A and B are shown apart, each in its own frame.
Chain A
Amino acid sequence: MPFIPAADEVGDLESGRDAASRLYQKIATRHIRGLRTSQGTYILTPSGILLSSRHSISEDELAEFLADGIGKYQRLSTRERLGRAIRASRTSSSRYPEDGLVLSLVLRKFYSRKPVGRAGIGVVESNRDFAWYKKKEAEQFLPSTPKKGDTYNVPSYLVERLARYHFTDTVRAFADPYPARCVKKARLTATVLEVQNGVVKLRYDGTIHSEQDDTPRFGLARSRGRLPRRPQRSFQANLLGYATFDQAKKRFTEFELVALGNHRGGGERSSKDLVPMGVALTLAEDTPLERVEPFHLEWYLWN
C-alpha cells in the first residue's frame, strides 16, 4: 500500500496538546464554508505538509485524489517529506480494560418510511460504538457460584450504563447521554443454562426504558457535536442474549446481547415519531481498531 492509512477523531486532535494534535491543528481545514468541523480525508507527509484534502470524495474521484497526493509527495525532498521525528504520544487508551469485558456495538434503525427533507440528508441506518466493563464489573454479569438453573439480576448500574450512554440515537449524529433520572427501567437477568468443567453458559433477558421529556438538555463534559438536540426522546426495548464465561480464565469467551425496541427523538435529525431501533453487542476482538474508546467513556466516571 503506497499510504499509511490512519483514522482519528476531530475533537481530540483539534483540542490536543501533543505533537500529533499540534501537527493536525496546522493542516485542519474547514472544507465547507459555514461547516464547523474539519471532518474529511487528508493526504499529508509525516513531516506535516498537507498535500491534498477533501470533505467528501466520490468513488469516481478517489483514484485521482490518491494519485495527486502520491505525485506531490514524490516531488518533495526526503527532508521535506519526513521532517523531524515526533513522539507518538497517543498510542492507545490507558483506560482499556485489559481483563474486562469489551463489547462492540452496532445500532441500526429500521425506518418504515425514510425521512424526507432536511431530516433525510445523508440518512444512514447504522452506527457503531464500544462499551467497556472492568474485570470486577464483568464478573458481576453472572452469579459468583453459578449452578444450572440459577437466575441472577445483573446490578442495575451496569445495565444503566448501556441505557444512558449506548442506547441513544447516534445513528445519524451524536446524542447526549441520558441523565440517570431518565432511566425508568434497566433490568438484565442472567439464567445459568449449564456449568461444565468451569465453563458457564448463560442466557440474558431484560428490558430497558429510558425517557427524557424535560429541559434543559443534558450537558456534555466535552461537547464534540454542536448539533442542536431535542430533549424529548425515549427508547423502550427488550433484551436477549447469550454468553459463555470461563471460570479458570475469569473472563467471557463469548458474549452477545441484542436490544430491540422503539426509539423516538433525541437529535436534530432524529424522528419525533417512534422508529424501531436495534442494538447488537458482541465481544470485541483485541485489535487496535477494536480498542477505540467508548464515545461517552468520560461519563463512566472511572478513576
Chain B
Amino acid sequence: MAVLVFIDEKCLRRPADFLEAAMKMMSVIFVLFLAISASPVPAQEITRSLNLTESSYAAVRKSILVRPSEDQWEKIPWRPNLAVAIAEGREMDKPILLWMMNGHPCGMT
C-alpha cells in the first residue's frame, strides 16, 4: 500500500517521476518474489498436491525439516542422560538443569 501511495503522489508531478517510481516498485516486487520463492513450500500447496517429484523434492524436504524457529533448544549442549550430567556436575561443582520427557527430548517425545 505504501508503495502505491508513493507512486500516486509522484505521478501528479511529472512522467519521469512515474517511470522512476515504477522501476522502484518493480524492484520491490522482484525482491518479494525472490523471498517467496526461497521460502518453504506453503503447507496448503503440499496439502493439495502431495506432489513428490524430482522438481518438488527440495522444496518438500525443506518444508518438512525443522525450522529455525523450532531448533533454538538444539543450541544448548544437552548431555544425553542424567548419569553423564551428575558426573560432570560433581567435577565442575555445578547444578544440573534436567529436562525430562516421555520419550527422550532429543529423540521422539
Contact = CB atoms under 8 A, between A and B. Distances in A.
A39 B109 CA distance: 10
A247 B67 CA distance: 34
Given A108-B64, A240-B57, A7 B104 contact: yes
Nearest to A282: B65
B86 to A, nearest CB: 5
Interface string B14-54: 00000000000000000000000000000110110010111
A103 interface: no
Given A46-B89, A88-B84, A278 B63 contact: yes
Contacts of A42: 96-98, 100
Interface string A195-223: 00000000000000000000000000000
Interface residues of B, number: 50
Interface string A1-21: 111111111110100001111
Nearest to A278: B64
B95 A3 contact: yes
A130 B103 CA distance: 12
Describe B's contact surface by its main secondary structure.
mixed
A45 B96 contact: yes
Contacts of A238: 50, 52
Contact of B61 (A7, A82, A280, A295): A280
Interface residues of A, number: 81
Contact of A10 (B80, B93, B100): B100
Interface in B50-109: 50, 52-54, 57, 60-61, 63-66, 70, 74, 76-90, 92-109
A86 B107 contact: no
B98 A44 contact: yes
Contacts of B60: 258, 260, 278
A51 B87 CA distance: 18
Contacts, number: 230
A46 B83 CA distance: 9
Interface string A98-136: 000000001110111000000000000011111000000
Interface in A10-47: 10-11, 13, 18-21, 23-24, 28, 37-46
Interface string A281-296: 0100000110111110
B96 A39 contact: no
Given A46-B89, A106-B65, A279-B64, A289 B94 contact: no
A90 B80 CA distance: 9
A143 interface: no
Nearest to B45: A110
Given A46-B96, A289-B80, A260 B101 contact: no
A160 B11 CA distance: 66
B98 A43 contact: yes
A20 B81 contact: yes
Contact of A86 (B47, B86, B105): B86
A258 B82 contact: no
A87 B83 CA distance: 8
Interface string A163-181: 0000000100010000000
A155 interface: no
A232 B98 CA distance: 36
B108 A129 contact: yes
A52 to B, nearest CB: 9
Nearest to B57: A240
Contact of A292 (B53, B57, B104): B104
A18 B95 CA distance: 20
6 contacts: A7-B105, A10-B101, A19-B83, A24-B100, A46-B95, A225-B103
Q: Ordered nearest first, which 5 A-B pairs have the shortest CB separation?
A: A6-B85, A46-B89, A20-B83, A292-B107, A295-B108
